[in-house]
Amino acid sequence: MTTATDPYHALVNREYSEGFVTDIESETLPPGLDEDVIRVISAKKKEPEFLLNWRLEAFRHWQTMREPRWASVHHAPIDYQALSYYSAPKSDADRPKSLDEVDPELLRTYEKLGIPLREQEMLAGVIGGNVAVDAVFDSVSVATTFKKTLAEKGIIFGSFSEAVQTHPELIEQYLGSVVPVGDNFFAALNSAVFSDGSFCYVPKGVRCPMELSTYFRINQANTGQFERTLLIADEGSYVSYLEGCTAPQRDENQLHAAVVELVALADAEIKYSTVQNWYPGDAEGKGGIYNFVTKRGDCRGDRAKISWTQVETGSAITWKYPSCVLRGNDSIGEFYSVALTNNAQQADTGTKMIHLGRNTSSTIISKGISAGKGHNAYRGLVKVGKGAEGARNYTQCDSLLIGDKCSAHTFPYIEVQNPSASVEHEATTSKISDDQLFYCMQRGLDAEDAVSMIVNGFCKEVFRELPMEFAVEAQKLLGISLEGSVG
Amino acid sequence: MLEIRNLCVETDGKPILKGINLSVKAGEVHAIMGPNGSGKSTLAHVLSGRDGYEVTAGEVLYQGVDLLDRAPEERARDGVFLAFQYPVEIPGVSNVYLLKAALNAVRKQRGEEELDAMDFMAYVREKLKLVEMDESFLSRAVNQGFSGGEKKRNEILQMAVLEPRLAILDETDSGLDIDALRIVAGGVNSLRTPERSMILVTHYQRLLDYIVPDHVHVLANGQIVRSGGRELALELEEKGYSWINQAGAAGGEARP
């Protein structure tokens, strides 16, 4: 057969391009978790008493809970006592006042990741459209830029630990108000031991002049990463927040159990975009990140709007359901998702839209892509409460299969308690056809580019929700993640 | 340009082409006619490198080099273009994106600079005129929701953009009304040059009223049973394919 081609052959055996390890001395607690460990973490961070008590309450709750078993994912048992719950770059004791004081090794790491902090600071104040990066390296924020520009607008943006010191009243008021300490196993664990994360408060009527951005990065072997993010948009304000992740290559599985809480008051809008590219493990799934994340937004006021956009290409296992509680009347929740699983990756992801207020509306667009032996599940709940007069939901759930060893599953749950609600659900499953591939190749594209182009087309409705610079990154990432998709 | 020698092709163990010989010189337009199931589309697919066929004997030389060993994208970049009988829909991928990616793949092969967005748009606007399409075609998803006529015009647009050396048009006239046929044929005719060769695969004579071929070949049961000039197509139209089948069975020689 002389005309035969193996369209995927060229894609095989590429290595994870973000796989490098930075050598920085770290101050790390020995493995294990008990109340003393939590007291140490809290003390190291000089936290007020209410926060220590809150952590301890979460820990006690967590001890009574069991890992969730309902997700459509499989992994070996996690030994939570074998993890270390605190690690900080040693320079923490003497925190850098500016980028010049930041460990050059760290800056080089960011450069490899394509986060030009130096450039960004130089660009500060030049023109709008800049991105402020609160860089989280392991567990402690080491550099924050653009703070001044934001401060002029009254916007508080920085590391969570810092906000605990400077604005404890906001932390006390809002922390755990969207995701309570006992919400679920991983959220409870996070609440007990969270190391750092980002905090943002946008005051009444303020439109945040730039996209806010945080890059997370795990860099310590055997160190669980427990980020805590709290975003509050006060009445009539607007903020767009970008979260991007890459992780260096590791042999052991790393647990990542983050919690993100969003609060949108009346007439406020929060747009939260994620590109997640944690290390997925090798072709057999060995060594990848376990990404067990709780993300929830509360439309607490009337006409509030929260929009989640996520592109999930990394991690060995993704367990994540960014959700909206539509409490305010006429509030809006949106969820746009691309989840890609290749090789042995598993994803169980989706959203919950909880309609409580009148005339609330939600939109769910989910695009799942499975390649290799990837296992991809959409799990979503649309719940319409008794008082949610006139609630509307539209759900579209599309799956794309590449090859014949992968799987796609859809678990839509719909609970409606109000007869005036309108709930629509559409679902499709398709394969990249040989016809499509041949058509592109007959026009001169190689198989890799053709697959990438077709997949990007499939995801278009989600990508157009991303801020421009993120959309470009997401498309590239999808191409990289599909390398070696079928042998 | 193209030299097909004793080409024998099977699919699923069933012989489809049984010793095709065909020589296409630069600038020539050859029409290949034949009844359904005669192997016309198989020939087009094998030349463009589609999967699912086994070449059991013979060879195909394109510009003096073995064609059949090469991957479809390599053939395409080297100037072999297939206008599909059934153009494929690619949801979410805009026409202009595919065109630009394809053109730049071909240009790279030719050792030319890739065109940037501005130059590309200027280039493609000129090509749109050839097939009487407006710019809105470019932003639509590839062939999605296109009418039959639009799909075929889109194929010719791609051909105009990629400027192939050898264009194979597989049943480009099928499903076209008379206006669309006129536009498509007009586009094809404007692309006839002394360097560019074309193979028109068609069931009906009608297309050849608009695109006048230099040579006509009749394919039946996997063999070229007659070759001739334009008049052969007319004769075929008049007498029908049953005439050929009888003549083929009688071992009719290719006419001069």
> Can you give the pLDDT at residue A130?
39
Residue B154 contacts A, CB cutoff 8 Å = no
pLDDT digits (tens, 9 = 90+) for B50-90: 989 999 999 999 999 999 999 999 999 999 999 999 999 99
Residue A453 to residue B97, Cβ atoms within 8 A: yes
Helices (H) then strands (E): counts for chain A: 12, 23
Cβ-Cβ contacts under 8 Å between A and B: the total is 95
Interface of B with A in 93-152 (CB under 8 A): 93, 97-98, 101-102, 105-106, 109, 141
Q: Strands B215-220 and A26-28: what pairing?
A: unpaired
Rounded Cα distance between A371 and A373, Å, is 6
Tokens standing for residue A168: 């404890």
| ipTM > 0.90, yes or no | yes
Q: Are A213 and A200 in contact (CB under 8 A)?
A: no
In a domain, B49, yes or no: yes
- Find chain B residues with C-beta within 8 A of A438's C-beta: 50-51, 72, 88
The model's pLDDT over B208-217, given as tens digits with 9 standing for 90+, comes to: 999 999 999 9
Measured between beta carbons, the chain A residues lying within 8 angstroms of B109 are 444
**Other Cβ atoms closer than 10 A to B105:** 21
Residue B73 is nearest to which of A2, A436, A445, comparing CB atoms?
Answer: A445
Contact A436 B88 (CB under 8 A): yes
> What is the predicted pLDDT for the residue at A88?
58
Asked if pLDDT for residue A356 goes beyond 80, the answer is yes
Best interface-test mutation with A: which of B41, B48, B50, B89 has the largest number of A CBs within 10 A? B50
Written as six digits, the tokens of B170 are 């597989």
Stretch A129-145: mean pLDDT: 44
Percent of chain B past pLDDT 90, that is, above it, reads 71
pLDDT digits (tens, 9 = 90+) for A23-80: 544 567 778 888 888 988 888 888 999 999 999 999 999 999 988 888 777 888 888 8
Smallest Cβ–Cβ distance between B68 and the set A3, A435, A445 belongs to A3
C-beta atoms of A3 and B51 within 8 A: yes
Q: In this predicted structure, what is the pLDDT of residue B169?
A: 95
- Of the candidates A434, A436, A447, the beta carbon closest to that of B90 is on A436
Segments forming the whole domain that contains residue B222: 2-251
> Smallest CA–CA separation between B13 and chain A, in Å?
12
Token pair belonging to B66: 């073995």
Q: What secondary structure does DSSP assign to A369-429, as a single string? A: EE-TT-EEEEEEEEEE-TT-TT-EEEEEEEEEE-SSS-EEEEEEEEEE--TT-EEEEEEEE
Beta partners for residue A256, in sequence order: A225, A291
pLDDT digits (tens, 9 = 90+) for A400-448: 988 888 888 899 999 999 999 999 999 988 888 889 999 999 999 988 8
Give me the mean pLDDT over the B154-170 stretch.
95
Token pair belonging to A61: 């709750």
Burial of A295 (0-12, 13-18, 19+ CB in 10 A): buried
Output phi, psi for A189, to 5 deg. -60, -45
User: Which residue from A202, A201, A178, A203 is spatially nearest to A191, judged by alpha carbons?
Assistant: A178
Look at B102 and A436 and tell me if their CB atoms are within 8 Å. no
Q: Which residue has the higher pLDDT, A279 or A325?
A: A325
> In this structure, is residue B200 part of a structural domain?
yes
Instruction: Tell me, yes or no, if A431 comes closer than 8 A to chain B by beta carbon.
Output: no
- Does any domain span residue B256? no
Give the tokens for residue A315: 């991690």
CB atoms within 10 A of CB B36: 8
Q: Give the position of tokens 């699983």.
A: A341
Q: Which domain CATH number covers B157? A: 3.40.50.300
Residue type (1 letter), B241: Y
Any B CB within 8 A of A440 CB: yes
- In a domain, residue B158? The reply is yes
Establish if B197 touches chain A: CB-CB under 8 angstroms.
no
Is B21 inside any structural domain? yes
N- to C-terminal Cα distance for chain A? 19
Chain A CA closest to residue B159: A443
Length of chain B: 256
Q: How many domains does chain B have?
A: 1
pLDDT of A142 reads 37
Q: Does A319 touch chain B (CB under 8 A)?
A: no
Q: CA of A266, closest CA in chain B: separation in Å?
A: 36
Indicate the helix (H) or strand (E) that contains A350. strand A346-355
State what percent of residues in chain A have pLDDT above 70.
76
